[in-house]
Chain A
Amino acid sequence: MREILEILEKDARTTPEEIARMLGMAPKVVASTIKKLEKDGVILKYKAILNKEIDRIEDSAVRALIEVRITPQKNLGFESVAERIYKFPEVASCYLMSGAYDLLVVVEGKNINTVANFVAEKLSPMEHVRGTVTHFILKKYKEDGDILKTSEKNKRQAITL
């Protein structure tokens, strides 16, 4: 099962038949295992990884990491505030952190103004939010294990013994 996940994580388009061949399993077993992983939510969804450094795609040209300090609520901790925040579609990721601040919120926007407005109008004024610090990302080198650079040409010779 772990190997099926490893293969799909590398290339989600690998078909159950191909995975079955690679692992010496029956295609039916692979297909049903994948179904189960999907049902259990281990596999959330399949999507393409875009290199937005090459082709600046509208609405997501700017990304900022925002440190958010919040006052935890009785019995609810950080959960309810976090939920209020991560439900905004502008929020790409949201993490509860140890250390000097509480939530790390990754916000995507068309340009600096969009993100700044989101912080000024939505995030900062929110109840229980004590303060924010915004860091804009200038350049992405690597994301989730993928280096965002067109890979170098294979320099191997065509035939070696």
Chain B
Amino acid sequence: MRISKVVQKIPPSGIRVFFDLVLGMKDVISLGVGEPDFVTPWNIRERAIDSIEKGCTSYTSNKGMVELRDAVSKYLKRKYALDYDPEEEILITVGVSEGSDLAFRAIVDPGEKVLVPEPYYVSYGPMTSLCGGKPVFIKTDPGNGFKITPKDIIRSCDSRTKGIILNYPNNPTGASYSKSELKNLADVIIKKDLILISDEIYGELTYDSEHVSIAAFPKMRERTIYLNGFSKAFAMTGWRIGYACGPADIIGAMTKIHQYTMMCVPIMSQFAALEALKASDRPVAEMKREYRRRRELVITRLNEIGLPCHKPEGAFYAFPSIKSSGLSSMDFSKELLKREKVAVVPGTAFGESGEGYVRISYASGIDKLKEALYRIERFIKTVKK
């Protein structure tokens, strides 16, 4: 067999078939997209073009340009009261995707376990498996807005549990945590001596309150790998750039892997990111206001239609229950696509407990959302008959 056993063991994506079905269809309104519909603000694009014109086409320091690490450090201090040394504690990564991969590889030894609350972002499981670790999926309570509780953590830990990954605001549910909820989680994470990988890529897109970083709690900084990036808040998915922050030993270990595999993040993206941090408060705020309006529209309509849905606290996803249709998540998504040409993602893409739910992205224009919701309503009526 040519393919390694480790890779063979990673289960194939169960919803690949569904994706292929979507790709083959024309004139679909897609609410299946995990990226902003906005284009990167012009000042950011212009800065990257300028850097190319000036001939900045070289490698940079493995960790990323020092100006950028400085800017990240200041930004995190200003936004979330986090305090990271740009020299030793910040690494510029190829998106949070690389950041989380490096985090798992830096801390997980073969046989060790990582707690992954469900529903989860698709990469966490395979990333854990790739370094020989074992993901332990924890089901969360839909009644509690799919939030993990301290009890969930305690009952899932054993002697081989090395760490836990949190993603909030969450993809796919949009759930986030308040300061007091985070405090309670932090207490058990410290008590159980776990390392926390905190994926806060959607942090800036928190609508009803201020996003709080769990890394800012006492005694959490030394055990937290904070991950963030530019893709979502700055509409920069294609630039592939993010950053990891944490204690120097862990960031050092991650940098070691990064320098042998990635060398550095493309320099043009780094210049763009620098501009994003320096002068993009206004476009970011505008996009955020627009998302919030869409959220209100989508959530109200879903509940009216008869697809009960928690109000997501952040990100740009709604995760309604489709149980009243009597269909499985996969069948619901397939039929909706076939009959009404609206694409959503079956909840099961994000773990078993996503059964009975679908992910609806509201990173689409208001007009498209209105039309799509009208079609979903029509679909529900025919299904229920």
A residues bordering B, Cβ < 8 Å? 3, 6-7, 11, 14, 18, 21-24, 154, 156-161
Determine which residue in A11, A24, A160, A161 has the highest number of CB atoms from chain B within 10 A of its CB, and name it.
A161
Q: Of the candidates A3, A7, A11, A158, which one forms a contact with B33 in the assembled complex, judged by CB atoms under 8 Å apart?
A: A158
Q: Is the CB of A161 within 8 A of B345?
A: yes
**Per-residue interface assignment for chain B, residues 356 to 385, with 1 indicating a CB less than 8 Å from any chain A CB and 0 otherwise:** 000000000011001000000000000000
Within 8 A of A (CB), among B159-190: 171
Q: Of the candidates B32, B121, B293, B296, which one forms a contact with A159 in the assembled complex, judged by CB atoms under 8 Å apart?
A: B32
Q: Is the CB of B300 within 8 A of A21?
A: yes
Q: Is the CB of A159 within 8 A of B19?
A: yes
Known: A7-B293, A11-B366, A23-B293. A156 touches B37 (CB 8 A): yes
Chain A residue at smallest Cβ distance from B300? A21
Q: A160 to B37, alpha carbons, bound, how many Å?
A: 12
Q: Is the CB of A22 within 8 A of B294?
A: yes
B281 to chain A: closest CB distance in Å? 17
Question: Contacts of A154 on B, CB cut-off 8 Å?
Answer: 37
Q: A109 to B335, alpha carbons, bound, how many Å?
A: 55
Known: A3-B289, A11-B366. A158 touches B296 (CB 8 A): no
A2 to chain B: closest CB distance in Å? 10
Q: Is the CB of B366 within 8 A of A158?
A: no
Q: Is the CB of A21 within 8 A of B297?
A: yes
Question: Contacts of A158 on B, CB cut-off 8 Å?
Answer: 22-23, 28, 30, 32-33, 343
**Per-residue interface assignment for chain B, residues 19 to 56, with 1 indicating a CB less than 8 Å from any chain A CB and 0 otherwise:** 10011000010101111010000000000000000000
Q: What are 5 A-B residue pairs whose CB atoms fall within 8 Å in the complex?
A: A3-B289, A21-B296, A21-B297, A22-B293, A159-B19
Within 8 A of A (CB), among B101-123: 121-122
Q: A41 to B122, alpha carbons, bound, how many Å?
A: 52
B240 within 8 A of A: no
Chain B residue at smallest Cβ distance from A151? B39
Question: Contacts of B323 on A, CB cut-off 8 Å?
Answer: none
